[in-house]
Amino acid sequence: FQPVASVVAWCGVESSRLAYDPYDPDVNADPFPVYARLRAESPLYHNPERGFWALSRHADVSAALADSARCSSDHGPMLDRGAWGPQARAYLSFVAMDPPDHTRMRAIVARGFTARRVAALEPMIRAIARGYVARAVEKGSFDFAQELSARIPLDVISELMGVPPSDRAGVRRRSAPLTGRSEDGAGGPGAMTERGPGAMTEEAVRDLLSLGGYYASIVAERRTAPRDDLVSVLVADGGLSDEEIVAFMFLLVGAGSETTTHLLNAAWYWAWRDPAQRAAAFGGAVVPWMEETLRFDTPAHGTARRLTEPTELYGTLLPAGTRMWLLIGSANRDERVFASPDSYDLTRDTSRAISFGAGRHHCLGAPLARLEARVTLEELVRAVDPDYDVDPGGIVRTAHANVQGMVRLPTRVKP
Ligand code: HEM
């Protein structure tokens, strides 16, 4: 990508008093003011304690995502400085690979995510969403995050992978170390994401190993008796080993559940905060509701890369091996691209938002995520009075660098 070499010393990388630590709970509570300062004062920001350099402007983040030769994914997208190392592949599959491995695996897996296959999932997704919405409306008061938005994406992925309903609670519990979600919904830093697998509790390691064993048993079953699910498609292809399929199943749970959950939570919350936007959303603008939420309060705030060669950025020469932190959440609020970026406006053009990343690693599940979110929001609009309530005092947010959002969102609805 083309670094802007002319903007130099005033970026004051080392001397700036601007402090940005993505693991700081105060930053996590509302990172956008810090992002605005990063973009204005320090578009290349160094955090020596955490060992990363952050890019926050839309042009820079997009360019880095597009330049996968210079910006390697081989240590995975987590901010943590390579604690994953060679283990990244076992849990993160091809999101932690470069070509040619990435190209080979993604091409095989993409066959399970064609537009036709994804569109065919709509009736299944609608049935799942309708069930959860009906139960919520019946209760009246419920936790939107725990009882609705966290359930739907996990059920959809379980359907895709062929995990029967009776096993889903167990999968949810054992996958918590991957997603940074604790079972009681209290959130907290994901052990896997902040400190790497070495820092996990023994119980978390046991959970992941047992989940891996469970996934391996599904793969073995499909080898003898294929069904109409994604794992059967991958097994039938013949190009992937059992270990590769299991790693991909881990990736699906990690990448595909928490993100979609946070999108739904944010849509629900921001529409509640702004009655005019809520009226538009409930008046038929469901797709703009989803797209503007993706831009305004994007679930995947950042992704990491490792420089493969010395690179000059903003007058600073960064050596090969430098850990780069690409702030998608900030790029989507860049005033150079979006007018009044801090206003939540369903009428705006969101086509330049990069919520699903860009380049080789552009989210494979984006069409599925959009389908799930649209269908769930449509079901809510159909069943719920627009005059719903949220209890802001009961909201709990995740303290997680990569994927951010709410894990508790108490709400009250009327039919
Ligand atoms: C990759 C965001 C939902 C599967 C990514 C990346 C982003 C992202 C930003 C790029 C990571 C990087 O470049 O390092 C999101 C958001 C979602 C979402 C915001 C929901 C709103 C899903 C779903 C699935 C999924 C539902 C599948 C069921 C994947 C996979 C990759 C990926 C497999 C890796 C692609 C590759 O490395 O080639 N996602 N995602 N995502 N996502 Fe998603």
**DSSP string across 266-286:** HHHHHHHH-HHHHHHHHTT-H
Here the tokens at position 112 are 């399970």
134 CA distance to ligand 1 centroid (A)? Answer: 29
Tell me if 176 CB under 6 Å of ligand 1.
Answer: no
78 CA distance to ligand 1 centroid (A)? Answer: 13
Residue 410: inside a domain: no
Q: Are strands 44-47 and 52-55 parallel, antiparallel or unpaired?
A: antiparallel
By alpha-carbon position, which residue is closest to atom 23 of ligand 1?
256
Residues paired with residue 396 on neighbouring β-strands, in sequence order: 408
Residue 415: inside a domain: no
184 CA distance to ligand 1 centroid (A)? Answer: 25
Q: Residues 254-282: pLDDT tens digits?
A: 888 889 999 999 999 999 999 999 999 99
Tell me if 305 CB under 6 Å of ligand 1.
Answer: no
Q: What is the pLDDT of residue 277?
A: 98
Residue 223: inside a domain: yes
Residues 6+ apart with CB under 8 A from 147: 132, 135, 136, 139
DSSP letter (8 states) at residue 156: H
Residue 140: is its pLDDT beyond 80? yes
3-state DSSP helix/strand/coil percent for the chain, to nearest 5?
55, 10, 35
Tell me if 307 CB under 6 Å of ligand 1.
Answer: no
353 CA distance to ligand 1 centroid (A)? Answer: 14
Residue 145: inside a domain: yes
The domain in which residue 287 lies consists of 9-404
Atom from ligand 1 closest to the CA of residue 357:
9
Q: Which range, 147-161, 192-206, 331-345, has the best average confidence (pLDDT)?
A: 331-345
Which is more confidently placed, 130 or 160? 130
Tell me if 76 CB under 6 Å of ligand 1.
Answer: no
| Residue 227 backbone dihedrals phi, psi, to 5 degrees | -125, -170
Arithmetic mean of pLDDT, 369-388 = 98
Instruction: Give 84's pLDDT tier (boundaries 50, 70, 90).
Output: low
Residues paired with residue 143 on neighbouring β-strands, in sequence order: 410
Q: Which range, 6-15, 40-49, 159-168, 229-238, has the best average confidence (pLDDT)?
A: 40-49
Tell me if 355 CB under 6 Å of ligand 1.
Answer: yes
Report the share of the chain in percent with pLDDT over 70.
Answer: 88
Tell me if 361 CB under 6 Å of ligand 1.
Answer: yes
Q: What is the pLDDT of residue 396?
A: 87
Residue 370: inside a domain: yes
Mutate-to-test residue for ligand 1 from 94, 325, 363, 402, highest number of ligand atoms within 8 A of CB: 363
Q: What is the pLDDT of residue 76?
A: 83
Q: Residue 334: give its domain's CATH number.
A: 1.10.630.10
Here the tokens at position 90 are 């076992």
Residues 6+ apart with CB under 8 A from 412: 140, 141, 388, 389, 391
Atom from ligand 1 closest to the CA of residue 305:
14
Residue 3: inside a domain: no
Quick check: helix, strand or coil at residue 103? Answer: helix
Residue 167: inside a domain: yes
Q: Report which of 228, 396, 403 is spatially closest to residue 303, judged by C-alpha positions.
A: 403
Q: What is the pLDDT of residue 172?
A: 80
DSSP letter (8 states) at residue 312: E
Arithmetic mean of pLDDT, 108-116 = 88
262 CA distance to ligand 1 centroid (A)? Answer: 13
Q: What is the pLDDT of residue 183?
A: 44
154 CA distance to ligand 1 centroid (A)? Answer: 14
By alpha-carbon position, which residue is closest to atom 15 of ligand 1?
356
Amino acid in position 396: V
Q: Which range, 15-19, 100-104, 198-202, 353-357, has the best average confidence (pLDDT)?
A: 353-357
Q: What is the pLDDT of residue 269?
A: 98
Instruction: Please state the pTM of the whole predicted model.
Output: 0.92
Amino acid in position 77: P
Number of domains in the chain: 1
Residue 113: inside a domain: yes
Q: Which helix (H) or strand (E) holds 33?
A: helix 32-41
Residue 313: is its pLDDT beyond 90? yes
Of 210-214, 274-278, 397-401, 405-409, the one with minimum mean pLDDT is 397-401
DSSP letter (8 states) at residue 322: P
Report ipTM (2 d.p.).
0.99
Tell me if 357 CB under 6 Å of ligand 1.
Answer: yes
Instruction: Give 80's pLDDT tier (boundaries 50, 70, 90).
Output: low
Tell me if 95 CB under 6 Å of ligand 1.
Answer: yes
By alpha-carbon position, which residue is closest to atom 3 of ligand 1?
256
